[in-house]
Structure 1
Amino acid sequence: MAATEETLAPARRASQRLAASNPAQNQRIRDPLRPWRYAGLALPVLFLAVIEVLVRASVLPAHLVPAPSAIAQTLWDLGGLRLARHVGASVARVCAGFALGSALALLIGAAMGLSRRADALLDPAFQALRAIPSLAWVPILLLWMGIDEAPKITLIAIGAFFPVQLGVVAGIHGVDRKLIEFGEVNRLTQRALFTRILLPASMPQIFTGLRTGLSLAWMFMVAAELIAATRGLGYLLSDGRETGRPDVVFGAILLLALLGKLSDGAFKAIETRVLSWRDARVGTGDGQ
């Protein structure tokens, strides 16, 4: 063993000197997908540029598909303060609804994942409720809670609840039985078994459910604001439709896409940091 370490030591030191002498090349080796990431960021800009050219060339009708420059001008004319109020109202509703729905889903999902009886009792009802469209909840919530913020936040919480709950249950059920048997052999308590084995092993599925729930929270937010709101991006969509302003409609859609991407990117960064211990598969080569 000592002889092997002595043999490999010069090669290891040479590799470290090479990496230190050429940090740019070392960075490219560590992140071979960097050019593709830049291309991924440039692709939406290229798409908008193509739409701009097609509209200016009268290939696409401007009264149906406004030019991106016209959309930008419309958003500018709305004013920063007014636009910030609409964006702030939608973001606040999504944050409140997502926090409420995901917290409840984590608790109930953990109970269903750990208890077969709870899973058998609650799963049929949740499967039926999950199939109800978002707009079907609106009249019920308006009838029960009025037209204030409560029905909007509740609707968003409903949208976030089901994918998170499903991710928690699937994550716990998908834990390798050998890991559980290993914990039992080492006489771990039920609490230690959950915190040391079940929870870490199910975290990838849980984060997938959380990210899916976040995206659905944005969708349900639009449904809530389309019905009963005087402020928010969903209200902008409805107002643009009623006044025949496709530039306002597309502007609200672009803002929703941007906010959804930013929130998902932030959540993905948290996921990468929390799950840095994973020995995940990383694709290499042109076909990956």
Structure 2
Amino acid sequence: MSRQGQLVGVELDTGQKRPLTDRQVRVKQRIYRTLLGALVPIIVLIAWQVLGQLGIISSLLFPTPIRIISAGIRLIQTGELYDNIKISVVRALSGFVLGGSLGLAFGIFVGLFRKTERALDPTVQMIRMVPHLAIAPLFILWFGIGETAKVLLIAKGAFFPLYINAFLGIRGVDNKLFDVTRVLGFSKWKQIIRLTIPGALPHILLGVRISLGVSWLGLVVAELMGSTSGIGYMMSDARQFSKTPVVFVGILIFAVFGIVADSAVRLLERKWLSWQDSYKGR
């Protein structure tokens, strides 16, 4: 046996393991976090199924997970689920993009200039306090029951979280850093790009997460006001005919899309805010 083979054999015999690479450590940590996060839902689903089969809980009000899955499969096979999801996603994203972009722009504008804050912020805060359900009838009167009213209602909800967080993020930037940029001769535009926006980015990304969640909430309200398509309409129609499993399918879809959207923003947070040396929990 060659010298190299002897060395390999010795290494194998000693049972020594090679240290994990950084990528392998990150993959293991991600798998661990996923399994830990899925632990509670799995326990709840198992208990739900067992209690439903034993007749302890009402099968009409709380159909078992297996019945809900069967209803979802039937909706997929008929194509009804895909069509409604596509319509709802387009509505939610359109409203989020419209309201979120305006909220971000207004938040930055009001955060940068004190006179603008005094002129606009009281009005914005007053409108923010008006609930979705209170303003929905007005939107129907103004825009009818078409797509415009639904998208604008979603946009209204998506506007305020980004507006508030962009404003707070800008006002939370250390004032001494602005003094440094003035000493370095930064122009106003360069100051905004190089200091203000990066400093406010943690708050802005938090606003994006909240706006996405509010957009899905606004979607439910929008699809309940005279809609003939979408997940909200599918749930409302199923409720009228006591198809409780279909209602739970709609709830599950909202939950899945919500967590996927939130996870996507959190991924951006880890990428764009890697410079932060903040407490991560123990």
The reply to whether TM is greater than 0.5 is yes
- Counterpart in the other structure of 1:23: 20
Matched, 1:62 2:66: no
Report if the CA contact (8 A) 2:60-2:244 is conserved. Answer: yes
Structure 2 counterpart of 1:206, from 204, 207, 220: 204
Q: Amino acid of the residue matched to residue 23 of structure 1?
A: L
TM-score, with normalisation over the residues of structure 1?
A: 0.87
For the residue of structure 2 that corresponds to 1:277, the secondary structure is coil
For the residue of structure 2 that corresponds to 1:282, the secondary structure is coil
- Counterpart in the other structure of 2:9: none
Distance in 1 separating the partners of 2:197 and 2:189: 10
For the residue of structure 2 that corresponds to 1:21, the secondary structure is coil
Question: Compared with structure 1, are the counterparts of its residues 30 and 64 closer, same or farther at alpha carbon in structure 2 (3 Å cutoff)?
Answer: closer
Question: Compared with structure 1, are the counterparts of its residues 169 and 39 closer, same or farther at alpha carbon in structure 2 (3 Å cutoff)?
Answer: same
Distance in 1 separating the partners of 2:27 and 2:225: 49
Distance in 2 separating the partners of 1:277 and 1:228: 48
What is the Cα deviation at residue 261 of structure 1? 0.7
Moved more, 173-182 or 162-171: 173-182
What is the Cα deviation at residue 109 of structure 1? 0.8
Structure 2 counterpart of 1:105, from 98, 103, 108: 103
- Counterpart in the other structure of 1:227: 225
Deviations 1:225-272 (A, max 9, x none): 011211111101211221122111111101110111111111221222
Question: Compared with structure 1, are the counterparts of its residues 197 and 25 closer, same or farther at alpha carbon in structure 2 (3 Å cutoff)?
Answer: closer
Distance in 2 separating the partners of 1:243 and 1:136: 27
What is the Cα deviation at residue 120 of structure 1? 1.2
Q: Structure 2 matches for 1:173-184, cutoff 5 A?
A: 173-184=171-182
Distance in 2 separating the partners of 1:31 and 1:121: 52
Structure 2: which 5+ residue stretches go unaligned?
Answer: 1-16
Question: Compared with structure 1, are the counterparts of its residues 186 and 140 closer, same or farther at alpha carbon in structure 2 (3 Å cutoff)?
Answer: same
Structure 2 counterpart of 1:74, from 61, 71, 74: 71
- Percent of aligned positions that are identical: 34
Structure 1: which 5+ residue stretches go unaligned?
Answer: 1-19
Q: Amino acid of the residue matched to residue 211 of structure 1?
A: R
CA RMSD in angstroms, aligned pairs only:
1.9
Distance in 1 separating the partners of 2:26 and 2:194: 34
Matched, 1:53 2:24: no
Distance in 2 separating the partners of 1:282 and 1:274: 16
Distance in 2 separating the partners of 1:117 and 1:190: 17
What is the Cα deviation at residue 208 of structure 1? 0.3
Report if the CA contact (8 A) 1:226-1:237 is conserved. Answer: no
- Counterpart in the other structure of 2:37: 40
Distance in 1 separating the partners of 2:68 and 2:59: 11
Q: Structure 2 matches for 1:108-123, cutoff 5 A?
A: 108-123=106-121
Question: Compared with structure 1, are the counterparts of its residues 25 and 208 closer, same or farther at alpha carbon in structure 2 (3 Å cutoff)?
Answer: closer
Report if the CA contact (8 A) 1:28-1:34 is conserved. Answer: no
Report if the CA contact (8 A) 1:171-1:206 is conserved. Answer: yes
Question: Compared with structure 1, are the counterparts of its residues 29 and 67 closer, same or farther at alpha carbon in structure 2 (3 Å cutoff)?
Answer: closer
Distance in 2 separating the partners of 1:32 and 1:103: 34
- Counterpart in the other structure of 1:155: 153
Distance in 2 separating the partners of 1:201 and 1:39: 32
What is the Cα deviation at residue 49 of structure 1? 1.7
- Counterpart in the other structure of 2:195: 197
Q: How many residues align?
A: 265
What is the Cα deviation at residue 148 of structure 1? 1.0
What is the Cα deviation at residue 26 of structure 1? 8.1
Report if the CA contact (8 A) 1:160-1:214 is conserved. Answer: yes
Report if the CA contact (8 A) 1:75-1:251 is conserved. Answer: yes
